[in-house]
Amino acid sequence: MTHNGASLVSLVGELQDQKQFRELNWSGTFQDYLDIVAQNPRITRNAFERIYDMIMEYGTDDFIDAKKRLIQYKFFFDTGFDPDDAVFGAEITLMRLVNFFKAAAKGYGTEKRVLLLHGPVGSAKSTIVRRLKKGLERYSRTEAGALYTFDWYLGELNKDGTFPALTPNLKEPKDGLESDWLPSPMNEEPLLLIPLEARERFIEEFNARRSPAEQIRIRGDLCPPSRFYYKELMQRYDGDWTKMIRHVRVKRLIFSEQDRVGIGTFQPKDEKNQDSTELTGDINYRKIAIYGSDSDPRAFNFDGEFNIANRGLIEFIEMLKLDVAFLYDLLGASQEHRIKSKKFAQTDIDEVIIGHTNEPEYRRLEGNEFMEALKDRTVRIDVPYITRLRDEIKIYERDFNSKKVPVHIAPHTLEMAAMWAVLTRLEEPKKANLTLLQKLKLYNGQSLPGFTEDNIKELRKEARREGLEGISPRYVQDKISNALVNYQEDGYINPFMVMNELDSGLKNHPLITNEDDRKRYRELLAVVKNEYTEIVKNEVQRAISADEEAIKRLCSNYIDNVKAYTQRERVVNKFTGQAEEPDERLMRSIEKKIDIPESRKDDFRREIMNYIGALAIEGKIFDYKTNARLQKALELKLFEDQKDSIKLTSLVSQVVDQDTQEKIDVVKSRLIKNFGYNEQSATDVLNYVASIFARGDTTEA
């Protein structure tokens, strides 16, 4: 079906939401605005309150990690907006961040501080700030996040006191009409138009009989241009504020980083070219000729990053690379919520100041005794690398998935890359009986014999710089991309392809200057390769023993013998019909597969029977799949019984009889169906495991 231009225009028109457009472009009188405030006082919130409410609006999830209750703030990983900026595995960091905003929203003092995110490169510092900025843009477009500012009208009003632009039936605006409208250059809160001498009584009257949550506050004063227009109009009406306020048009304010409304971003340039006017505005030389003075607010552009970010947020990229003169501007902006523009008095601002930096710059700040004032006004929040494997995997799955990448990515490819990255960030455990890989597994929520959640807490406490050093996710992402390009003719990539890229890139890694680190990272790659070998060996074993009926028969046989053993009974042989002693050899052959020692066999068997009994009380039927350890033991036992009939090692000789080939094809189809391989990756992984067994490097069972 083809479309002509007219139909496509109509299609676009149908997709527009005019009702929402009218809501977002609402304008009205100051009195209209007071009616809105009376119905919803929250629209007068300050910047810190707005950001905190925005985060909490998305809700939270609680979870326990090593006996510690953690809160996940859905705002940071909600896929409803910008899924590419979702933040994974930073619960501790984000809890501290939200606590900062909560304290600031309540006026406990952190609203007078610069928030500094500190951490290694690629640890999501910029992502967190970017998500806050995009969240604010989105929130300001909702009813819950609505806020307002105002324009000045300096022309003559109609006789009934209305704006000419709003006159009914006015078909064409008069020449120059729109030029008479002058926006508040700093997107100020309309309540600032209430004169200082009347504010206390106004607030008292408004807040009477309202709950604390519904009460308002008016903070600060108008910016220089607005003060100028205010005074000019007051003089025109001989001090009659009620007539002056008719020249104000209140309008909805929508944050937009691209339009430089409510969200500012400052990035330092070469130190010799840094100019503080980028933050606080500069003189408009063309208008000096009109107004005759560079101290006339109309001849000044209040469009610095501090100015345009009023009511919202300003981000300082690599903040500590700023020239010292810039850092002094931060002192007043954070503590007093005021900025000083050239030739003008201090101007009130209402905005959140967030900077981020990496460690070398922060160490330089710590060593600079002249920056004590800034250090005293800074709240530092560390943003380390992720140390939980499942969260690191999510980062790579976000960028490398079937929707974005046409090349097949074999199972465990991203997992192994993530495992290596996390291992480089972990500190060696002090416990002699614990390897770094085991530590990673404990952090990832896996249970290991002999270790409890208390041990995990101890491991985290003893670590001093865990997550602040190691390999960045960016390096891993780059190498996965390289593998996808270099091996695209193969039709897929596997963990070895990616690990080879990771290895070859280490010699030119710009951030690795220590040869010992480079050697350690290569040794960790060997650890990951060994772990991958064990994983795929286990998968092939499971694919071989994935005969559902055979496992059920084996399980039933085992349970019958365990029941007889624990109840001191005999088992009826289904073939001979004779009562026999429980088959100890069968039970132990299964239990040994999951390292149940002889001394623990009675406990394990009782646990199984108690578990079955508990299910029976609830009216449920026992299924071996609900007990992961038993399932693994049964699969390994069945593999041991069937491996000789499959003759997997014959794959390496490339001489396979028809019967064996049929069985291998069944195993391959199970790898594809149950584990996510494709035809080629399943064939390769079978060949790899077969070569291991053929070499005798490891046992088949």
Q: What is the pTM of this model?
A: 0.84
Torsion angles phi and psi, residue 68, rounded to 5:
-105, 130
Nearest to 140 by CA among 20, 29, 34: 20
Each residue of 162-194: pLDDT tens digit?
777 544 444 444 433 556 789 999 999 999 999
- pLDDT profile of the chain (701 residues), mean per 10: 67 76 92 96 96 96 82 90 87 96 95 94 93 96 96 87 58 49 95 96 95 93 96 96 95 96 87 75 90 91 95 92 76 91 93 91 75 84 95 94 91 97 95 91 87 86 91 95 89 94 92 89 96 91 77 87 90 79 90 89 90 86 82 81 59 61 83 92 88 61 35
Quick one: which H or E segment has residue 27? strand 27-28
Quick one: which H or E segment has residue 635? helix 628-646
Distance CA 163, CA 154 (A): 10
pLDDT at 174: 43
Burial class for 478, CB neighbours closer than 10 Å (0-12, 13-18, 19+): middle
Collapse the DSSP code of 126 into the 3-class scheme (helix H, G, I; strand E, B; otherwise coil) and give the result. Answer: helix
Nearest to 420 by CA among 357, 493, 473, 482: 473
pLDDT at 7: 74
Ranges of beta strands (E only) in 424-559 are 492-493
Distance of CA 664 to the CA centre of its chain: 43
Torsion angles phi and psi, residue 224, rounded to 5:
-50, -45
pLDDT at 448: 83
Each residue of 426-439: pLDDT tens digit?
999 988 889 999 99
- Please state the length of the chain: 701
Quick one: which H or E segment has residue 414? helix 413-425
The two tokens of residue 87 are 């933040």
Q: How far apart are the first and last CA of the chain?
A: 59
